[in-house]
Amino acid sequence: MKVCTIIICLCTIVESVNILGIFHLPSYSHHTVFQAIYKALSKHHKVTVVTPFSLNDPALVNLTEINISDGASRVFKGIESLFLVERDIPSHVKLRKAFELSYKLSEVVLNERRFIDIYNASTSEIDLVIVQEFFSPVLYPVAAKLGAPLVGVSSMGVGTLRHLAMGNPNPLATYSDILFPHGRRMKLFQKIKNVLYYMWSRYYLNFEALPKCDQIARKYLGNDLPYIQDIEKNMSLLLLTTNPILYEPRPNVPTVISMEQMHIKPVKPLPKDLKQFLDSAKEGAVYFSLGSNVKSINIPEKLRKLLIEAFAELPYKVLWKFEDDNLPGKPKNVFIGKWIPQQDVLAHPNVKVFVTQCGLQSIEEAISRGVPMVGMPFIADQTRNIRRLSEEGAAIGLDHTTVTKEEFKNAIIEVISNPKYKENVKRLADIWVDHPLPSLNRTIWWIEYVIRHKGTKHLRSPTADVSWFEYLLVDVILVLLLAISLVIFVLYKTVKFILTRICGGAKIKQN
């Protein structure tokens, strides 16, 4: 057995290479996934990353970080208010907003002086380019410019258009777009909406978004590039943070790989003040956080007042991630902190429920620590996430726009007092991590697979080259309809001719 293990290890060794990573969306929770990947890669390779969140870890001697926090934050702040009302915006508007954001962020990246030196240097020897997947392919041409294989990585799932670009089967009756919070069985009206959105998004992508992305890329990287859609379709690998609980199981092509719980770390001791607070919570504690995007300090005053009143009436202690030193009206049983070591807090035995916005990374942390949830979704995939957790009996979902104080209190008490929620979370935790290899090991193996073989052309799905016209067999259907119509026409003419001859002959005979 040991000999086999050594042989496998020797067969998969990759010599040290130069890897370039571009992770440009300034959302901290998403970067916990990317950081886990490039920290692991930097143990064996030279890694340069463009990021708004530098690790600044002197122990990572092979890692070079190009920080774009100032420019990325300026762009991101302009859309911060959008996050609080995004659920009310039609999906086609969300897609436009996502592309517009990606245009601006990409120009921040492409204008960064240290990055310009990399993609314009004739001596740059980059063996692999990894790019954060965020709707738009505008930064993918960097790989083509440097002549390196391209790997996309997402901290969640991706939309229908990216699946199609990779050649993934995507029947519209079964799979809705990531911007649609539909369940696993769509009703007729939902399927109609899904089809109409798909038709519009194909038009928008091909005639508006991709030409704009191509224009931006050529502005900085030069005109000696393939068209951006061809670059997108030739991506070597797409890594998605998906799982069979929150995402519908689907038949992925070999170049689409699922990851999960990439950023989960061993439990560390809590800071003294937090430990004392949670240790004293003999009746149990509630942990409340809305993540790094939907900050508690930005929620409407009406909702904040409701939360304060509800927490004051609970028999539990409450730990609240609040991004200010002062919370007006803070109840005695509430402890606030601008930053909370969330994974370690969730591991404390006195934390009985996690009130969350239902971001994917927060859910992974709660599931890994065995804590059931009360979910209040705000943006992106959060609505579909809480719907699935509720269906699995691991959480209760609330609408932050209509929730009452009593509903909020009752949901917390129900999740804490009813053992089924914790039991279901433990059941999901067992499913989530049951793989032949830990997720990070599997991810690094696939990235190094791309390096070893200088791409994955041999794994590329032929479906990526098939037009929607051919994919839906419209051409075959039209030919068959034409053939059937021709046969019917010939039969009609033949029968008519025979009847004419018979009837005509009978008339002549009668005369």
For the ranges 61-75, 178-192, 246-260, 328-342, which has the lowest average pLDDT?
Answer: 178-192
In this prediction, residue 172 carries a pLDDT of: 85
3-state secondary structure at position 395: strand
Give kind and range of the element (H or E) at residue 240: strand 237-241
Note the pLDDT of residue 40.
95
For residue 296, the Cα-to-chain-centroid distance in whole angstroms is 23
Q: What does the alpha-carbon distance between residue 221 and residue 215 come to, in Å, rounded to a whole number?
A: 10
Domain ranges of the chain: 13-260+435-465, 272-432, 468-498
Question: Distance between CA 32 and CA 262 in Å, rounded?
Answer: 8
Task: Summarize the confidence of residues 299-327 as an average pLDDT.
Answer: 92
Q: Report CA-CA distances (Å) from 463 to 129, 248, 263, 277, 459.
A: 24, 21, 33, 56, 12
Domains 13-260+435-465 and 272-432 share a fold: yes
Model confidence at 5, pLDDT cuts 50, 70, 90, reads very low
CATH number corresponding to 272-432: 3.40.50.2000
The Cα–Cα gap between 214 and 136 comes to 11
pLDDT attached to residue 79: 61
Q: pLDDT-based confidence at 97, cuts 50/70/90?
A: confident
pLDDT at position 3 = 38
- Over 50: is that where the pLDDT of 4 sits? no
What pLDDT does residue 255 have? 95
Question: What pLDDT is attached to residue 318?
Answer: 95
CA dist 487 and 337 (Å) reads: 77
Dihedral of alpha carbons 258, 265, 69, 93, sign: positive
* pLDDT score of 507 more than 60: no
- Please state the pTM of the whole predicted model: 0.88
2 band by pLDDT with thresholds 50, 70 and 90? very low
Tokens of 428: 């999901």
- Beta strands in 369-449, from DSSP E residues, in sequence order: 373-375, 395-397
Residue 351's closest CA among 445, 278, 302? Answer: 278
Alpha helices in 327-381 (DSSP H): 342-346, 360-369
- And the tokens for 354? 């996690």
pLDDT at 183: 62
pLDDT digits (tens, 9 = 90+) for 470-498: 877 888 999 999 999 999 999 998 998 88
The predicted pLDDT at position 247 comes to 87
pLDDT at position 6 over 70: no
In CATH, what number does 13-260+435-465 get?
A: 3.40.50.2000
Are 359 and 263 in contact, with CB atoms under 8 Å apart? no
Comparing 75 with 507, which gets the higher pLDDT? Answer: 75
Given a cut of 50, whether residue 350 has pLDDT beyond it is yes
Averaged over 452-458, what is the pLDDT? 94
What tens digit of pLDDT does each residue of 9-63 get? 444 556 789 999 999 988 888 899 999 999 999 999 999 999 999 999 999 999 9
State the sign of the Cα–Cα–Cα–Cα dihedral 458, 460, 466, 472. positive
- The pLDDT of residue 503 is above 90: no
Rounded to whole angstroms, the Cα distance separating 195 from 180 reads: 11
135, 24 in Cβ contact below 8 A? no
pLDDT value for 509: 56
Q: CA 264 from chain center: how many Å?
A: 17
| pLDDT at site 87 | 60
pLDDT digits (tens, 9 = 90+) for 383-422: 889 999 999 999 999 998 899 999 999 999 999 999 999 9
**Among residues of the chain, what percentage have pLDDT more than 70?**
93
Give the range among 38-52, 75-89, 204-218, 413-427 with minimum mean pLDDT: 75-89
Mean of the per-residue pLDDT values of the chain: 88
